[in-house]
Amino acid sequence: MYVNDILSMIEKQRDEVEKELLLNLDSDVQMVNEVASYVFESGGKRLRPVFLILSSLLCGYDGYRTAALSGVVEYIHTATLLHDDVIDGAMYRRGRKSANTVFGNDITVLCGDFLYSRAFMNLVKDGNPEIQMTLAVAARTMSEGEVFQLIKTADIKITMDDYLKIINSKTAILFSSCCEIGALLGGQSVDKRAALRDFGRNLGIAFQMSDDILDYLGDEAKTGKKPGTDLKEGKITLPVIVLLENAAEEEKVKVREIIVNENSDEENLNYIIDLMKKYDVKRKSEEILDRYSAKAKENLKLFPENKYREALESLADYMIKREK
């Protein structure tokens, strides 16, 4: 199934999510609405809502709660983006100036807090304790994961397990929650709920790994990003971990030195990228990623073969194949 066909199939629901996102920006402090509108009107793929919508439809639910809860998830996601951009000092987001660049760090942190509280209000309105707890745990895991990632900055002793923990927190848990919410809205069995939760997690892990591979080994013309951003920020991701597993001892020493000293000039970046090419790091990383992607599709087998399942499967492929 092509992405455009999938998006057309859920056009009505996606429109409702867009309305929902702007509907709640009802602060009597105009600046709050202004910052939030700036962020939401700058687009973004609304991937999490798409997964929530499709999971709900797969589980037989197509009511108004889908848009409301998609809004909640997107508010939580956006709150974390706002806080992350402040923390990373990011200048740009989605191809235009980041909120912190335009409005300053102070207001951006507070607008993140506003979106958290707005998400929380709408979750209380929805009233389902299981959905509430799913997202409360996700929010908690996300903030813990960010702290963990900060601690592990430029730490060359980072393990594959540490890396998985970080990407589970920063990406996979919220995808996982979206898919699980679909099952909860559809009143599905414990088994199916767990299957969709696992689908979302595996998919989220594969998605983040794909992003991390592209950061070093993507084609700048296609990704639109300069390679090596993660290296600059001291984030040690899959390609570096795979490289360190494969490189010769003296190469490892040099790579570690570059990372520890946060010395990511062009020469050093090119040195690392060349090593990655030498050791076929892209293919090796993609093999790891493919395992998660395959697991994700396996998780869907519990569900009947219909267009929604097919859409979720196709989307899982699309998300990790982009820009390859």
Interface residues toward its own copies, by CB under 8 A: 27-29, 31-32, 79-80, 83, 86-87, 105-107, 109-114, 116-118, 120-121, 124-125, 127, 129, 132-133, 136-137, 139-140, 142-148, 150-151
What's the gap between Cα 268 and its chain centre? 28
The radius of gyration of the chain's CA atoms, rounded to the nearest angstrom, is 20
- Distance CA(17)–CA(78), nearest Å, equals 14
Q: 54 and 182 in contact (C-beta within 8 Å)?
A: yes
Q: Which residue, 25 or 258, is less far from its own copies as judged by CB?
A: 25
Q: Which residues make Cβ contacts (< 8 Å) with residue 117, sequence separation at least 6?
A: none
Q: Work out how close the CB of 133 gets to its own copies at its nearest, in angstroms, rounded to a whole number.
A: 5
Q: Which residue, 140 or 226, is less far from its own copies as judged by CB?
A: 140
Reduced to 3 states (helix: H, G, I; strand: E, B; else coil), residue 45 is: coil
Q: Which residue, 168 or 299, is less far from its own copies as judged by CB?
A: 168
Q: Work out how close the CB of 156 gets to its own copies at its nearest, in angstroms, rounded to a whole number.
A: 19
- Distance CA(142)–CA(152), nearest Å, equals 15
Q: Which residue, 173 or 247, is less far from its own copies as judged by CB?
A: 173
Q: Work out how close the CB of 135 gets to its own copies at its nearest, in angstroms, rounded to a whole number.
A: 8
- Distance CA(19)–CA(241), nearest Å, equals 42
Which of 99, 63, 107, 106 has its CA nearest to residue 81? 99
The torsion angle over the Cα atoms of residues 90, 116, 180 and 287, rounded to 10 degrees, is: 10
Q: Work out how close the CB of 100 gets to its own copies at its nearest, in angstroms, rounded to a whole number.
A: 12
Q: Which residue, 153 or 189, is less far from its own copies as judged by CB?
A: 153
Q: Work out how close the CB of 12 gets to its own copies at its nearest, in angstroms, rounded to a whole number.
A: 29
Q: Work out how close the CB of 31 gets to its own copies at its nearest, in angstroms, rounded to a whole number.
A: 5
Q: Which residue, 144 or 265, is less far from its own copies as judged by CB?
A: 144
Q: Work out how close the CB of 193 gets to its own copies at its nearest, in angstroms, rounded to a whole number.
A: 17
Q: How many other CB atoms sit within 10 Å of the CB of residue 234?
A: 16
Q: Which residue, 233 or 286, is less far from its own copies as judged by CB?
A: 233
Q: How many other CB atoms sit within 10 Å of the CB of residue 220?
A: 10
